[in-house]
């Protein structure tokens, strides 16, 4: 009798245990019934009952989750663009039965890559490569608006959409480098031209100064005659005497006197 009681209690405990399931925080459950299909109700957090072997709980994580989606697309000027989009998404809990029925539990693998690629190709094609760099904020906002609207049709909410990676193909990078080199060469050539123009102005000013000086000298010669020449001779002789007096190898002797020098034999 005792073993029969224990067996009965064990069977009863197994039945009760199989009729219970838990829904953790941030999760929701959809009930799949063998006879009636997926029910429209969404079960919240806590411990709940179901009919064993008839009903099955499908638990969804409804918290925000991140996902990176890399996409290779083309710009308006036909440049290859590598973009990585970071998404922070979650489910619309009221639409869980429809999501499970029409998409399945792997909804994020089926939906997010396809709609992200579709929207990115559409938006990026409106901008050329230069605009993708200078107007990155505008591009990101346009992608976010279009993708949020598109994801809503699948029961997904996008809490954040951001461009985390944006690079271009090898051809575009080489073209940018060549353009920078050409700009540097143009700046260098412009500097050479400006320097030549400045040197030309200096030469003109110097020539005008020499011409003016010659004109002044001619006027002075015409006015003072040979007196100016004699004055210049005296000034030159004085300067020469001063320079010679500073030299160690030259000795100045007074004129009109005989001086005996002791020179080595």
Q: How many domains does the chain contain in total?
A: 3
Note whether residue 92 is domain-resident: yes
Question: Domain range spanning residue 56?
Answer: 15-61
Q: What is the pLDDT of residues 42-75, one digit of tens each?
A: 999 999 988 888 899 999 999 999 999 999 998 8
Q: What is the pLDDT of residues 146-197, one digit of tens each?
A: 999 999 999 999 999 999 888 887 766 665 555 655 667 777 778 778 888 8
Q: Do 80 and 142 sit in the same domain of this protein?
A: yes
Q: Which string of b and e fits 5-25 if b means at least 16 CB within 10 Å?
A: eeeeeeeeeeeeeeeebebee
Note whether residue 3 is domain-resident: no
The model's pTM is: 0.60
Q: Is the dihedral of CA 171, 172, 178, 182 positive or negative?
A: positive
Note whether residue 246 is domain-resident: no
Residue at which a domain ends, from 126, 148, 168 = 168
Note whether residue 6 is domain-resident: no
């Amino acid at each position: 009798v005792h073993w029969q009681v224990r067996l009965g209690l064990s069977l009863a405990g197994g039945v009760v245990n199989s009729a219970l399931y838990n829904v953790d925080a941030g999760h929701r459950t959809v009930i799949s019934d063998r006879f009636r299909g997926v029910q429209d109700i969404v079960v919240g957090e806590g411990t709940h009952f179901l009919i064993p072997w008839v009903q099955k709980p499908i638990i969804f994580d409804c918290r925000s989750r991140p996902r990176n989606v890399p996409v290779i697309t083309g710009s308006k000027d036909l440049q290859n663009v590598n973009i990585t989009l970071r998404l922070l998404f979650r489910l619309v809990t009221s639409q869980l039965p429809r999501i499970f029925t029409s998409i399945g539990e792997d909804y994020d693998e089926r939906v997010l890559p396809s709609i992200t690629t579709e929207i990115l190709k559409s938006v990026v094609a409106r901008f050329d490569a230069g605009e993708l760099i200078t107007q990155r904020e505008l591009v990101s906002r346009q992608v976010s608006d279009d993708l949020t609207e598109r994801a809503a049709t699948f029961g997904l909410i996008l809490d954040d959409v951001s461009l985390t990676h944006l690079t271009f193909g090898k051809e575009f990078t080489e073209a940018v480098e060549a353009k920078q080199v050409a700009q540097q060469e143009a700046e260098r050539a412009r500097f050479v031209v400006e320097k030549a123009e400045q040197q030309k102005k200096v030469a003109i000013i110097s020539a005008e100064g020499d011409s003016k000086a010659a004109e002044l000298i001619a006027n002075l010669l015409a006015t003072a005659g040979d007196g100016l020449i004699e004055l210049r001779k005296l000034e030159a002789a004085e300067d020469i005497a001063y320079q010679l007096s500073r030299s160690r190898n030259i000795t100045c002797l007074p004129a009109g006197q005989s001086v005996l020098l002791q020179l080595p034999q």
